[in-house]
Amino acid sequence: MAIKKDITFKRVDGSYFKPVGITFDRGGMMTIYGDVWKDAADREANPNEPVLSRIAFFATDDKAKEEALKVAYAFAEFFPELAGGTPIIDAESVTLGQTELPLLVGKKQKLTATVSPEVAKNKDVVWKSSDETIATVIDGKVEAVAAGEATITVKTVDRSKTATCKVTVV
């Protein structure tokens, strides 16, 4: 499918990417095809002569993947008629700021969950304690109830990604 609107994205490596086409496979994977210029000066001096022409925009490492997701999300916002609306980019992981937490009985401490990628549409999480007689958790706030060990689990609402923190109450 050809793209009729004119838009160019600056990539993290300083090069510029101009989408010119898009395809969707049966699984809903979106592939953006476009032209690349090495920098702004090159794009301005040679608007019709990109360094690379009609390349597929894909990612091979985490940083490039994050960039690809941002471009895909921005692309779909600019071209909803092609993408079927703003995309839902699923959470790929969730991490906690700490994996072990020592607490005294009666004390409270907040755990922070980070959902990736940054552009994930739904960053909602659910918290759970393996043993609420030892430690409870509400919206990431852990309260030490009695001496012992419990595992606090945070889980993404979509795709069920999890992270855990071992709580030791003394």
Is 95 in contact with 117 (CB distance < 8 Å)? no
Is 7 in contact with 18 (CB distance < 8 Å)? yes
> Which residue bears the tokens 């959470």?
91
Taking residue 125's Cβ as centre, other Cβ atoms within 10 Å add up to: 20
> Which residue bears the tokens 């109450």?
169
Run of H or E including 17: strand 16-24
109: which residues sit within 8 A by CB, 6+ positions away?
Answer: 101, 103, 141, 142
DSSP single-letter state for residue 65: H
58: which residues sit within 8 A by CB, 6+ positions away?
Answer: 31, 68
d(CA 67, CA 82): 20
- pLDDT value, residue 40: 72
Question: Residue 142's beta-bridge partner residues?
Answer: 109, 137
d(CA 128, CA 115): 17
d(CA 59, CA 61): 6
Run of H or E including 71: helix 62-78
Instruction: Show the domains of the chain with their CATH numbers.
Output: 9-83 (no CATH), 93-169 (2.60.40.1080)
Angle at CA 143, nearest 5°, toward 112 and 153? 50
Query: Which stretches of the chain drop beneath a pLDDT of 50?
Result: 1-4, 54-55, 57-60, 81-87
In three-state secondary structure terms, 43 is helix
With a threshold of 0.75, does the pTM exceed it?
no
